[in-house]
Amino acid sequence: MSNENKLSPIKYMRPVNKKGRSEIAQSQPQIIFMNNGKEYLVKFKNNPQGNRMLMSEYVGTLLAQHLGLPTIPFEIVYVPKEFITENKLDSFQFKHGNQFASLYIENCSGLWFQPNKEQVINREMLAGIVVFDFWLRNEDRDASNILLQPSPKPNFYIHMIDHGNCYPRKSTLLEIINNPKRLKLSVVHNWCMSMLDDKEELTFYLNKIVNFNNDLVRELIYSIPDDWGISDEVKKEFYTDIIEAKQVLPKVVEMMKGHVNP
């Protein structure tokens, strides 16, 4: 791809605040207008959550895309030092280089209200969101990181965002298997489960995950930008965690089926 076709920053717009609050979100994301005429939510190197978060965001989003789940389109964008300095982004301690930039979609809301089945045009993906989050142990799936986009009113298209807190662990899944009381569903997961027509919707996505090519998982992890400074040891650990979690996920999904009440 030629350089002129690559995404690049044109104008700094604003920080992203938490819903209903004045303070900036935890990873201090920023809205930037790019050369393709669109705004992107950019998560920077050296943000307060660290570059390990960027790896989880990047790999989690790519895995979700390959599984056909409703993620927001994203790009890796190079932000030069001059842009950071001119827009005083160095006050956040951000570093120049490759950043994670997801398309900013206007007029979306979080799950502040719960639409019914008929209103959700991609309802069939909701089972996948739940199974995916348990696979990667995304315990941050609250009402603010699932987006409802009017498509058109009164209907909505659901987007899943924020995979930065994905920390898959076989041990935590085994804890759920050994102690069913540890199976806790978030508000978002409970809503998704209430929208299912059949328990086998969970099985459909479980099978996609179990059969996901391990070599592709490794390839995605090792395609992380080099300047994020993620060591080979951390990458290998992340890969092992994802594969081992996949091995015990079927038993957890069987337990989850008990929460489906169509």
60-79 per-residue burial string, b: 16 or more CB within 10 A, e: under 16: bbbbbeebebbbbebebbbb
Rounded CA-CA distance 88/8 in Å is: 18
Q: Which residue has the higher pLDDT, 85 or 24?
A: 85
Report DSSP state, residue 136. Answer: T
Task: Give the H/E segment covering residue 147.
Answer: strand 146-150
65-111 per-position pLDDT tens digit: 999 999 999 999 999 999 999 999 999 999 999 999 999 999 999 99
Distance CA 224, CA 99 (A): 11
Task: Confirm if 45 and 97 have CB atoms less than 8 A apart.
Answer: yes
Contact 79, 227 (CB under 8 A): no
Using one digit for the tens of pLDDT, what is the confidence trace for 35-62? Answer: 999 999 999 999 999 999 999 999 999 9
Q: Quote the pLDDT of residue 22.
A: 42
Residue 212 has pLDDT above 50, yes or no: yes
* CA nearest neighbour of 188 among 107, 106, 110, 256: 110
- Predicted pLDDT at 140: 86
Give the burial class of 4: count Cβ atoms within 10 A of its Cβ; 0-12 exposed, 13-18 middle, 19 or more buried: exposed
pLDDT confidence band for 5 (50 / 70 / 90): low
β-bridge partners, 100: 43, 76
CA 29, CA 185: separation in Å to the nearest integer? 27
Q: CA-to-CA distance for 89 and 92, rounded, in angstroms? A: 6
How many Cβ atoms from other residues are within 10 Å of residue 231's Cβ?
8
- How much is the pLDDT for 6? 87
pLDDT by residue (tens digit) across 139-155? 889 999 999 999 988 99
pTM, to two decimals: 0.93
* pLDDT higher than 90, residue 219: yes
- pLDDT at position 122 is 97
Per-residue confidence (pLDDT) for residue 19, from 0 to 100: 53
The mean pLDDT value of the chain amounts to: 93
Dihedral of alpha carbons 241, 73, 14, 230, sign: positive
Q: So what's the pLDDT on residue 24?
A: 60
Buried residues in 81-90 as b, exposed as e (16+ CB within 10 A): eebbeebebe
H helix count then E strand count, the chain = 8, 7
Higher pLDDT, 123 or 27: 123
Q: Token pair 């459909």 is at which residue?
A: 204
CA 204, 62, 155, 144: dihedral to nearest 10 degrees? 110
